[in-house]
A and B are shown apart, each in its own frame.
Chain A
Amino acid sequence: MANLSNDDEEGISLFPMFNILACTLGVMVFILATVATVSLGADKAIEIVEAPIELPDSSEMTVEDAARGAAERRRPVWIEWDGVQLTIYPSMETVGFDRDLRSFDSWDETYAYISERLTGTRVGASVAQVGLEPELRYVVLLVRPSGFDNLLEIGSYFEFLGIDVAHEPINQQWQRVRVN
């Protein structure tokens, strides 16, 4: 009796579809990885270091050179200021300020508010440590352009604590900042 079915041809092969799916998946992964590479790779890490001070030989050293040498021995504590929060490097812990530092009527109120926000935080502990050892440490304030307007207030606070502050502007779009 005739049999119309053919065992060799009755199965539907899904492998062409798998190939297409795998190829599509691969293309999507490729696009994703390319976008990630471009977005991350185009903004390489910015390394911020302390500039060395060149000193003459000890026999030729003047009083000013000795002062420069003392400054050279101090170690920086790196803190970023963007206008609304302080971020300490390299731990990247932050303290936010929900009020504009220029909105206070007096310096005392401004300092009291900043102290209140810093109290009990790692950033506050680091700042306090610098204040206890001003001859060994100083603060480098990395300032984003968004923090230019109230830089005076935050910088004055550190000086109010007796801390030497060096300011350094950093570009707003820099996202991967390292300190050394």
Chain B
Amino acid sequence: MYRKPRGGGSQSILNLDSLMDILSCLVGVMLFLVIYTVLELGATSFQVAVPVPLDPPAGSRRVLVLANGGTVRVLDAARPIRDLSTGIDQVPVDAMPEFVRQVNLSAPTDAYFSYTLGYDAEMAAVAGRDRSFQIAVDEIPGEPGETLQELDSGSRYASLLGGLDPNDVWIEFGVDAFTLDAFRRARDLAEARGFATRWGPLSLDFPVSFSLDDDAQGPGPRRSLSQR
């Protein structure tokens, strides 16, 4: 015998199971997200160790390391300047232009930069012989330096540091806004080798020039760097 199904009006009104299922599922998802967010917020991505400032070794000279444009390059102008200026004191004033031309025929280079000598006769007449010589530094094409990913103990930068003595040299980093991470890595490598380090904001547009008598602490484009 067919039996008419009983109307379920009151049952459908009171049945909240489906709603509860959805709500409990949402609460679970939200709890998961809250816990995940709290854990993420409590995490530390990395540490930056700030070295206690110490004076460079007495009598040591500065070597500039450029951390510009995302790469790191050593700019050690001491040897090129020595090469360019050897015998310059013995050259008569009227023979100076020819001397400079001859010297620049075999202008010195290093890993990243080329160096040329400049002479300004008018400056020599006004400010004296020492102020009349300029060293121009330019980038060597195809040598952009090393990026953060390339800086390690086997990098070119590390090998260049290996040729320097921490007792004779301290490192000054010229840093721009785009190279902070590479700078930190380069500084860590330098400090691990025992070098005293400093840094300053610096962004160079090559070619740059500086006077031969620019800096008592060591040759290089120091005037572009903050005098601290």
Indicate the size class of the contact surface on chain A. 35 or more
Residues of A within 8 A of B (CB): 6-9, 11, 13, 15, 18-19, 22-23, 25-26, 29-30, 33-34, 36-37, 40-41, 44-51, 53, 67-68, 71-72, 74, 76, 138, 140, 143, 145, 148-149, 151-152, 155-156, 164-172, 178
Partner of A164, one of B8, B33, B46, B53: B53
Is the Cβ of A169 less than 8 Å from the Cβ of B228? Answer: no
The answer to whether the Cβ of B142 comes within 8 Å of any Cβ in the partner chain is no
Is the Cβ of A170 less than 8 Å from the Cβ of B48? Answer: yes
Indicate the size class of the contact surface on chain B. 35 or more
Is the Cβ of B54 less than 8 Å from the Cβ of A71? Answer: yes
Complex Cα distance A81/B76, Å?
30
Q: With a CB–CB cut-off of 8 A, which chain B residues contact A74?
A: 52
Interface of A is mostly: mixed
Shortest beta-carbon contacts, A-B, top 7 = A8-B7, A145-B177, A41-B40, A148-B201, A26-B26, A44-B45, A51-B49
Is the Cβ of A178 less than 8 Å from the Cβ of B7? Answer: no
Assuming the A-B contacts A13-B12, A26-B22, A151-B226, are A49 and B7 also in contact, with contact meaning beta carbons closer than 8 angstroms in the complex? Answer: no
Flag B75-113 by CB within 8 Å of A: 1 or 0 each. Answer: 000000000000000000000000000000000000000
Interface centre among A13, A34, A51, A72 (most CB of B within 10 A): A51
